[in-house]
Structure 1
């Protein structure tokens, strides 16, 4: 199973028959019941509801201070037995690294490799490196599970106290586990890291055979050219964190609304720099970018607000057949925290399936409330993954 390719928003929208208008103030009783009784993270079927043409929430997007952001996902499939799939320079400070590479070697035969991200100290004094967030998964062909679990582990991670040292001119595996992992053909190597360094450095992602020291392979391997047939992109990008604020207060009396993130149009792809060519790079999908979102809402008709998501692009092509994600969402009917989507199975497939993220009860006096959530585009899934807000009767 390959990583799912992003498809442009202008591709044909899935056709569904509406049994009622999105602006209607009353849901069919059976759908309302499903939404208010379902377990958090579970799949609920919402026939006649899911459509990409639902009214959209307008929002402002602000770039937040954040780490230098590097992603290695081009070429996604490393088809050369020994090669460098990414090489970028970083300055002292905080760095975010997202590794998403697959052992794609099949000529003259399929082989087992290792894929390791390393940092070289290019300064003149010892480099000290400390991990702030660490998310590392065993290589696997189950890309959906890796992408979902990778985000869950990242959100749950806390700063480590251990400080490692890299002497000038030397290298260090950013994730020591990667040096031990054996990567079979078509297995995905997935790592998501925030760390801090105090010397300039150079980050490389290297594939070689399991017995070759990474330093040896790094010294002799060539950097592969970017922009292969698959992969979101690679390079050093100018945005790692966004803050999203809604322009208007959501009111349950106005019916269903949706928030569209990471579609490449309403929310354009972030731009960066690819070190091996010196060219500008685009990160198709904004994978690894954190969206810290704040939405104001109120209930002037006494209804609550259910938040669901779905696989809107399931009909585009064979690679969009499933979606899995993880978010951090503020408290409502369910407590605040990290939720894997879906939580009751690996993926959601297509409409009428939706995933219940949270249900927000109305305030007793109808006053304005705030919804917070942290979203990052889910690796291995087609985008966008719309976030839909549905007024529900909770009585």
Structure 2
């Protein structure tokens, strides 16, 4: 993941702390209003002068929602040895979410093709039944932005399996059978985002091995996971939060101008904490990647304007790893119908201001009454954070 200026880490930028207040309500010019209202949903647009670190930030309450056990494998992100286990964590009966984000980083004695796969072992004394609830798996790729964006799109749109797989006591299977057959070349990312339910305790291993060895066999013969690289990945382990509900404190009024919502900034929204089984150490999940945010915004329009939701990449000039941003969200209806939207939808990534992406335009209620906008957000893999969600009053007339 991209988190700090180091290779493949997220850069956190205060850019004037992103909380500066303007002396007057900021509204788009007539020209920019026309640009926003005539842009197709999910497309990029040029909005010079509109985006800055001086947009007022919204305060909100954050509620931990019930959710699955959450595991992530992203430390080490690059697996530098020909064979090794990047993650090994116990799981309990119930629902589990796993985010797999690992790269074939083998250079010694030479670059070589590998496989990277998730293996689950039944550590209970009865047969385990495992059934996928959400499934997202991309082919190994060097296009990390594509994997992050498409991964969320596939996860949000996937449907539960109706048939469970059985795993005998002490036996193991590949969580994603396609991974056991996929060839992972040097510097290619294996990206998988899964949610499943099990009825016996188990153990999950993320293993890299040669193409001929079954991943289950490699996982069985490797006794301990690789050392953590600390600041070389978002984190690894089992984390205590998988789902949040975000409720903005006050009702927005379009007459008060632009505002922004900052999620996964490490400050207002701190990193979730987990524990790594192999060391017993507490671990923070830098970026909160894989955590799902269910966001609710109450708003009204006393001036008859609509409310555009846009997003952008404020980190484009900050490091070579932050030059693009790509995401996928679920958004409630407005000018465009509700649903899953890739951001951007007309190109791979957005780069930097003055470029932004139009997510939705929420239309005013009759008489300007209060209504609610809903959207589902997860910090996008491979992108630098935070990715501001900006609410802009616009005139549709």
The question of a shared fold, defined as TM-score above 0.5 by the shorter chain, is answered with yes
* Partners of 2:54 and 2:264 in 1: CA distance: 16
Q: Which residue of 2 aligns with 1:98?
A: 99
| Aligned partner of residue 347 in structure 1, secondary structure | coil
- Contact 2:180–2:214 (CA<8 Å) still a contact in 1? no
Q: Which residue of 1 aligns with 2:68?
A: 67
Q: For the Cα contact (< 8 Å) 2:167–2:173, is it kept in 1?
A: yes
Partner of 2:11 in structure 1? 7
Q: Which residue does 2:283 correspond to in 1?
A: 281
Runs of 4+ displaced beyond 2 Å? 1-4, 12-15, 21-27, 219-222
User: Normalization by structure 2: what TM-score?
Assistant: 0.95
Q: Give how far 1:4 is off.
A: 4.0
TM-score (norm 1): 0.96
Work out whether residues 183 and 211 of structure 2, in 8 Å CA contact, stay in contact via their aligned partners in 1.
yes
Alpha-carbon displacement from aligned partner over 1:15-59 (angstroms, at most 9, x marks no partner) = 9xxxxx684464211100011110000011111111122101110
Q: Is the 8 A contact 1:114 1:209 kept in 2?
A: yes
1:224-281 deviation per Cα after TM superposition (whole angstroms, max 9, x unaligned)? 0113452100000000000000110011011000000001001000000001100001
314, 320, 325: which is aligned to 1:323?
325
Q: Which residue number corresponds to residue 237 of structure 1?
A: 239
Task: Work out whether 1:163 is the aligned partner of 2:171.
Answer: no
Q: Would the aligned equivalents of 1:43 and 1:344 in 2 still touch at CA under 8 Å?
A: yes
Judging changes above 3 Å, is the alpha-carbon distance between structure 1 residues 63 and 369 closer, same or farther for their aligned structure 2 residues?
Answer: same
Aligned to 2:341: 339
Query: Is the CA contact (8 Å cut-off) linking 1:97 and 1:193 kept in structure 2?
Result: yes
Specify which of 243, 247, 250 is matched with residue 248 of structure 1: 250
> Matched residues in 1 for 2:23 and 2:118: separation?
48
Contact 1:148/1:340 (8 A) holds in 2: yes
Consecutive unaligned residues of structure 2, counting only runs of 5 or more, are: none
Question: Residue 209 of structure 2 corresponds to which residue in structure 1?
Answer: 208
Confirm or deny: 8 A CA contact 2:119 2:205 kept in the other structure: yes
Aligned partner of residue 380 in structure 1, secondary structure? coil
> Which of 316, 328, 338 pairs up with 1:314?
316
Q: Does 1:356 align with 2:358?
A: yes
Q: For residues 315 and 288 of structure 1, what CA distance do their matches in structure 2 show?
A: 25
- Deviation per CA, 1:67-122: give whole Å up to 9, x if none: 00000000000001000000000100000000000000011110000001011000
Q: Structure 1 CA distance, aligned partners of 2:217 and 2:175?
A: 17
Q: Which position in structure 2 is the counterpart of 1:154? A: 155
Inter-CA distance 52–25: structure 2 relative to 1 (3 Å threshold): closer
Whole-Å separation in 2 of the counterparts to 1:282 and 1:229: 11
- Equivalent residue for 1:375? 377
**In 2, Cα distance between equivalents of 1:219 and 1:338:** 39
Among 269, 294, 298, the alignment partner of 1:296 is 298
Change (3 A) 1:220 1:26: closer
Distance 1:369-1:14 versus aligned 2 partners, 3 A rule: closer
Once the two structures are superposed, residues 190-224 of structure 1 have per-residue CA deviations (whole angstroms, 9 ceiling, x without a partner) of 00000000000000000000001223211222410
Distance in structure 2 (CA, Å) of the matches to 1:22 and 1:317: 32
Q: Deviations over 1:335-354 (max 9, x none)?
A: 00000000000000000000
Please say if residues 174 and 216 of structure 2, whose CA atoms lie closer than 8 Å, have aligned partners that are also in contact. no
Give the match's secondary structure for 2:367: coil
Counterparts of 1:223 and 1:26, CA distance in 2 = 53
